[in-house]
Structure 1
């Protein structure tokens, strides 16, 4: 399959993930982290300089943040964010270095809020809404710039 076709599928997957909404449910903490796992260890390779990697890395961070925050706030579908990140990795099929970069950004987004929030608060709910909007904006930007 052509790189452009893979990239279009990636963007469609990301956009669908972010279109799921930004509402948060009642507080429900104590869930164990569910991280995207990197592929098997290989010799370190340099990440590509592909221009879409910067916004795609930010999108990975946003998805990781949403995965944690929506789970914290009791969203029964919180795991969808990790699943969508895995779908992006599968559709994009990045080289090992780029894959590690994207996984690291997802995990960083998750951990940044995990270290701050212990329960769902009004601020966490606002963060969910803002990150969902940012993720949707990033998806549109990536699609517009690199999808054709």
Structure 2
């Protein structure tokens, strides 16, 4: 070991600086060595970033608190409560039937396949207005009816034609029931 080197480890060398006469006296000075990471053993690679991680861990909570000039949180405006209409359940079932019939008519390439989707759009426009929650509920029912048959029927079969006819009849019954009981 060199006479001026006291300790050499982890890429840091402690040296005693030489005075003019060449004597090594005085305080120790830390000198960084350039160490390539290839020559380091894995343990050293773990210990070198530890001081940086410790500083980040200490600085994290103070940074999370924010400065003094942060504005106070504003009160969130809650959406208006959902309007409950006495025929919502029947309307949701009608939307589900419309979704099923739309899928089956499109699958069997029957005339007027899009008329069921358009009918659902008219139902949404007339019944929900600005009530977003009711609109989402009815749209979900339509999609549920569509997907229910999409998971079962991939081809137009006689059973699909019978199911479409039954669902059309159920939809007509629901529409008549809703309008006669709750209509103006």
- 1:127-138 aligned at under 5 Å gives the runs 127-138=163-174
1:113 aligns with 2:149: yes
Larger radius of gyration: 2
1:106-139, Cα deviation, whole Å (9 max, x unpaired): 0000000001101001110110110000000000
8 Å CA contact 1:47, 1:101 repeated in 2: no
Give TM-score scaled by structure 1 length: 0.67
Higher helix share: 1
Out of 22, 45, 50, the position equivalent to 2:85 is 50
1:73 aligns with 2:111: no
1:89 aligns with 2:124: yes
Which of 1 and 2 has higher RCO (CA within 8 Å, sep 6+)?
1
1:71-119, Cα deviation, whole Å (9 max, x unpaired): 0001131111111100111112251110000000000000000011010
Tell me which residue corresponds to 1:14. Answer: none
8 Å CA contact 1:63, 1:85 repeated in 2: yes
Tell me which residue corresponds to 1:98. Answer: 134
Q: What runs of 5+ residues in structure 2 fail to find an aligned partner? A: 1-77
Tell me which residue corresponds to 1:122. Answer: 158
8 Å CA contact 1:52, 1:146 repeated in 2: yes
Deviation at 1:45, TM superposition (A): 6.6
Distance in 2 between residues matched to 1:90 and 1:49, nearest whole Å = 17
Deviation at 1:48, TM superposition (A): 3.1
Give TM-score scaled by structure 2 length: 0.54
Q: Over aligned residues, Cα RMSD in angstroms?
A: 1.6
Aligned residues: 106
Distance in 2 between residues matched to 1:108 and 1:64, nearest whole Å = 7
8 Å CA contact 1:65, 1:106 repeated in 2: yes
1:7-43, Cα deviation, whole Å (9 max, x unpaired): xxxxxxxxxxxxxxxxxxxxxxxxxxxxxxxxxxxx7
